[in-house]
A and B are shown apart, each in its own frame.
Chain A
Amino acid sequence: MRSACSALLLLCACGTLSNEDIAFIEAIPQKDELHVQVPQGDTSQPACAIASADIWVSAKTTGNAINAGVDGILGLVDAIRAAPPTTRDTDSRTWGPFPDQNHPGVEVRVTMERELDANRVPWRWIYTIAARRPPADFLPLVEGEFFGAQAKDGSGRVTLHFENSWTLQINQPTDPHFPARIYYDLTSNPRTISLDLTSGQGFGLVGFDYGYAGYTDGHGRFDYAIPQSNGCLLEVTAWFTPQGAGKLTYRALCPLNLVYGDVTQCFDVSACVTYVNDPFAFTAQCNGVKPCILGNPASCPNLP
């Protein structure tokens, strides 16, 4: 009789109510947590006194490209937020395999493991997003590891296996053919995110080690690169205010290992150049006069 009652209760007890599931989900980084956040500034386009800050404007394009690449992979994680784990163990969860809604014929499986310290506080999380086209075996698409109790204030790395997304034919046209790695540290101020694309091109970006640092007050720094039609590559370090004004320094890496720089520009929230210090007169308004200084350095925002 007692066992029958227990069986009845067991059969009737069902649901997803789980604190531990919440802990696992909180450990997965969200797309916006790994986004490069470049201020949009004033979207109007007034006539600029010196010149338009085109190099700074390109930072937004670069940042969006990086964000799109991250979104494409981490978007797979959204599926596990909508479904309870398939299996639960004390320190691991597995979701799936379940069909990938965006790619017919593809199954996705997400596994997470955690390690706890002596106080039962999670200090390390390892997760893998894998996919397959049955009957083939699963291939890892994302392998992540981070440290801390939750992704939004932890640090870690994410390896995006784009080579496998090509194999599974779920890639975006601009995806690289090699693994890309994202390193992030959200534990302190500034929070830093870097994208290692040094193995080649991807996301429409040149091979480069992109770096982003965002401070809690909204100002930040973004290191990125812009290819030039003359074969040179502009390496840019841009500091910006929360409103979108800023100061950037770039140098040109040209064929034959020629390096020109550094050039300093300051710009306002309308993306107009307010000051130029250009030893090589790359700036058109310098009319080839070297060295070239335009505008007032006092117009530069108080940034490093």
Chain B
Amino acid sequence: MRSSKALCVAACLAALPAVAERRFALVIGDMRGGAGTRPLKYAERDAKRIYGILTRIGGVREEDARLLTSASADDVRSALEELKRRLAQAHEETVLFVYYSGHAKDGDLRLGDSRMPLTELRDALKDAPADVRIGLLDSCQSGAITRSKGIRPAPAFDVQQAQAASTRPRGLVLIASSSADEESQESDDIGASFFTHYLASGLLGDADASGDGKVTLAEAYAYAYARTVGETLQQHPVYLYDLGGAGDIVLTQLEPARGGLVFPAADEGVYVVLDGSRKAVAEVAKPRGDQRRLALAPGSYLVKKRDGDSLLLGDFSVSDGPVEVADARLTRRPLSDDPQKGASGPRWSLLGAGGAQVFFDAAARNGLFPPAALAGVELASRDDLGHELTWGIDFSLGGGSSNLRLPGLAPIPERFGELGGGVSLWRDFDLGDSATVSLGARVAFIYLARSFPGHSELPSQNFFTLTPGLTTAFSWHFTNRVSAVLRGRLNYLFYNVDQSQNLGYVEVAAGVDYAFGL
């Protein structure tokens, strides 16, 4: 499905003399579409991926890039105006990228409860004082933005007129993820919209059909078109192409990136690269004989490849140099271990947390189970069981001091200590890229001991029991490895010394989770 014409564009560009160029980008992601729409799951993650690619290998300096998430239409207008001012002040050749992932309906971009007509965005791009303006829209019915002379619902740009040109490209290109009457789809398996996922994969290197270490606009579009249509069968990206001069432009350069994954020529197939949260960051679909390189940011990745009735899986760490991903380095696993289906083998993490424990029953809080401070650790294994289930084992220590109040007696000071531990099973629910909510169940033991300072006549006492309960947590992921966690547990305790009592208590803790083996 690749266009051989795209290869010609790359060749022409390679022949042009180097000119100082400055690139600007406005990247917008919004999961909210306002009334009548269902929130998208991955729009903001899509935007962050594109932002990361453009600023890392797309030639856009971070100070020239704007990332807007959950923004209003006015925020977008303001950002556009600011970029226009800066473009006007630039003395170099300029390129402006505008990427949008979110809802679009009835000719408008839906930014929460605010709207921005597609025509307004198109006009803004047309009028922007940049030599090249590129609009990339990933939203339903986004093809409406291309409704004008020059529309090309085709798998590749027609760049014939550019082949003979010797000047640098100038003009406007609009690319939409679907035609004006089509829906754009998201995929839970890949954790992204199809179009952006393939666009990102292409920009990272899989679209480099020429193998020159550069991904051009034509290459990226051709790749994203082919993969999106091939995967969805019903979503057809469209474009408006109005570039003069050489007619194509290099979007990403793979060589300046120091690290990356290299897929050797000897192997073939579709490889999916997942990040630490088991979300797809890129795909490589390569025939035997072609080498592919993905210019990935430093980090830990899991590569999977479907091979008949089994999977090939392998963990790779990208740093300064290229890392070869050969099939021989992958481990064969059953399909049930598919990391995108909720299983990727155990991923261990250790949570250190501190918090408090409070019983609901006021009488129980009097001496028997006073409010306690707790500190503990929890070792968790994610994806060991599949279905995004996690099991964990935890231990905690705590205690405090209180006063035992008995009828007719002066308060008796008491000091108490507590040892607890349990096993939990929960499921994580992602809230975007950075947040996770967990819900599950836990069975624990609790051992309490108390003594009465200043009352040598009173013996120490203790209590041991099992406590089943529910557990929930909210995690905010600062990095792939480090997360802040706010955890709550609701427990049941059966007390039977003085009398039989059904008691409940809650534990709230905050801590830091560190993940291993990503």
Q: Assess A17 versus B406: contact at CB under 8 Å? Given A8-B466, A81-B458.
A: no
Q: Which of A217-247 contact B (CB under 8 A)?
A: none
**Total number of A residues with any Cβ neighbor in B under 8 Å:** 32
**Interface pair B457/A19, CB less than 8 Å apart:** no
Q: Assess A9 versus B466: contact at CB under 8 Å? Given A15-B497, A22-B404.
A: yes
**Interface pair A13/B465, CB less than 8 Å apart:** yes
**Interface pair A17/B461, CB less than 8 Å apart:** yes
**Interface pair A15/B463, CB less than 8 Å apart:** yes
Closest beta carbon of chain A to B370's beta carbon, Å: 11
Contact with A along B449-473 (1 / 0, CB 8 A): 0101000011101111110100000
**Interface pair B457/A30, CB less than 8 Å apart:** yes
Q: Assess A14 versus B461: contact at CB under 8 Å? Given A19-B368, A22-B412.
A: no
**Interface pair A15/B464, CB less than 8 Å apart:** yes
**Could you say which residues of chain A place their CB within 8 Å of the CB of B495?**
13, 17
Q: Assess A21 versus B461: contact at CB under 8 Å? Given A149-B409, A150-B409.
A: yes
Say yes or no: is B494 at the interface (Cβ < 8 Å to chain A): yes
Closest beta carbon of chain A to B59's beta carbon, Å: 63
Q: Assess A17 versus B450: contact at CB under 8 Å? Given A26-B458, A30-B457, A81-B457.
A: yes
Residue among B368, B408, B466, B497 with most chain A CB within 10 A:
B408
Say yes or no: is B448 at the interface (Cβ < 8 Å to chain A): yes
Q: Assess A19 versus B496: contact at CB under 8 Å? Given A81-B458, A81-B459.
A: no
Say yes or no: is B63 at the interface (Cβ < 8 Å to chain A): no
**Interface pair B494/A13, CB less than 8 Å apart:** yes
**Interface pair A22/B458, CB less than 8 Å apart:** yes
Alpha-carbon separation in the docked complex, A116 to B458 (Å): 22
Say yes or no: is B309 at the interface (Cβ < 8 Å to chain A): no
Say yes or no: is A16 at the interface (Cβ < 8 Å to chain B): yes
**Could you say which residues of chain A place their CB within 8 Å of the CB of B452?**
22
Residue of B nearest to A9 (CB): B494
**Interface pair A9/B465, CB less than 8 Å apart:** yes
Q: Which of B413-471 contact A (CB under 8 A)?
A: 445, 448, 450, 452, 457-459, 461-466, 468
Alpha-carbon separation in the docked complex, A133 to B408 (Å): 38
**Could you say which residues of chain A place their CB within 8 Å of the CB of B406?**
19, 22-23, 26, 149
Alpha-carbon separation in the docked complex, A21 to B452 (Å): 13
Say yes or no: is A121 at the interface (Cβ < 8 Å to chain B): yes
Say yes or no: is B260 at the interface (Cβ < 8 Å to chain A): no
Say yes or no: is B17 at the interface (Cβ < 8 Å to chain A): no
Q: Which of B42-56 contact A (CB under 8 A)?
A: none
Number of A-B contacts (CB under 8 A): 98
Say yes or no: is A256 at the interface (Cβ < 8 Å to chain B): no
Closest beta carbon of chain B to A35's beta carbon, Å: 14
Say yes or no: is B336 at the interface (Cβ < 8 Å to chain A): no
Say yes or no: is A4 at the interface (Cβ < 8 Å to chain B): no
Residue of A nearest to B495 (CB): A13
**Interface pair B457/A88, CB less than 8 Å apart:** no
Say yes or no: is A45 at the interface (Cβ < 8 Å to chain B): no
**Interface pair A88/B498, CB less than 8 Å apart:** yes
Say yes or no: is A25 at the interface (Cβ < 8 Å to chain B): yes
**Interface pair B450/A149, CB less than 8 Å apart:** no
Q: Assess A150 versus B408: contact at CB under 8 Å? Given A9-B494, A15-B497.
A: yes
Closest beta carbon of chain A to B379's beta carbon, Å: 23
Alpha-carbon separation in the docked complex, A23 to B406 (Å): 7
Alpha-carbon separation in the docked complex, A18 to B494 (Å): 14
**Could you say which residues of chain A place their CB within 8 Å of the CB of B458?**
22, 25-26, 81
Say yes or no: is B150 at the interface (Cβ < 8 Å to chain A): no
Residue among A12, A17, A19, A121 with most chain B CB within 10 A:
A17
Contact with A along B491-505 (1 / 0, CB 8 A): 000111110000000
Q: Which of A1-50 contact B (CB under 8 A)?
A: 5-6, 8-10, 12-23, 25-26, 30
Alpha-carbon separation in the docked complex, A207 to B464 (Å): 53
**Could you say which residues of chain B place their CB within 8 Å of the CB of A18?**
368, 461, 497-498
Alpha-carbon separation in the docked complex, A27 to B466 (Å): 32
Closest beta carbon of chain A to B496's beta carbon, Å: 5
Given A19-B367, A150-B408, 6 new contacts (CB under 8 A): A13-B464, A13-B466, A17-B463, A18-B498, A19-B406, A23-B407
Chain B contacts to A: CB under 8 angstroms: 366-368, 404, 406-409, 412, 445, 448, 450, 452, 457-459, 461-466, 468, 494-498
Q: What are 6 contact pairs spanning A and B, CB under 8 A?
A: A5-B468, A13-B495, A15-B465, A16-B461, A18-B498, A25-B459
